[in-house]
Amino acid sequence: MTACAHAIPGRIRFVMPEIRSSATLAGAVANRLHRVEGIRRVEVRPRSASIVVHFDPGVLSIAEIRRLMTPDGPAATDAAPIRSPLGRAARKWGVVIGGAALNALVGNAVKTGVVALLARARA
């Protein structure tokens, strides 16, 4: 039985007593979670029977991470989505391109506004 012990955006800790006695289970859960897009790091702590998951809250929510840890969730099967090798790079380029587009739009709006103000002042 897996229970959520603590959760804040970007980090969640689960208690999973079964990993105390099964290094195989602990490794399997960690490996499956590592394959999920948005999960940055998984720390397995057998002595305290806990699994700490560090994740990108912009990609995954706490509720989604909890669902991954349910017995029928993707972490319990081999159905966990595979990380896209281009995912992180694509997001970074999206931010860069989006920022450039926003900068161009704001620049255009300011220029248009200034030209309109100057035209009114001359009239």
Q: Is residue 75 within 8 Å of residue 12, measured between CB atoms? A: no
For the segment(s) 3-76, the CATH number from 3.10.20.600, 3.30.70.100, 3.40.1280.10, 2.60.40.10 is: 3.30.70.100
**CA proximity to 12, closest of 47, 63, 49, 81:** 63
Q: What is the pTM of this model?
A: 0.57
Supply φ then ψ for residue 58, to 5 degrees: -80, -15
> What's residue 83's pLDDT?
45
**The two structure tokens encoding residue 29:** 């859960």
Which sequence spans correspond to the domains of the chain?
3-76, 86-123
> Mean pLDDT across the stretch 64-89?
56
Q: Is residue 52 within 8 Å of residue 42, measured between CB atoms? A: yes
Q: Which of 19-28, 38-47, 60-69 has the highest mean pLDDT?
A: 38-47
- Summarize pLDDT for 21-31 with one digit per residue, the tens: 888 888 888 88
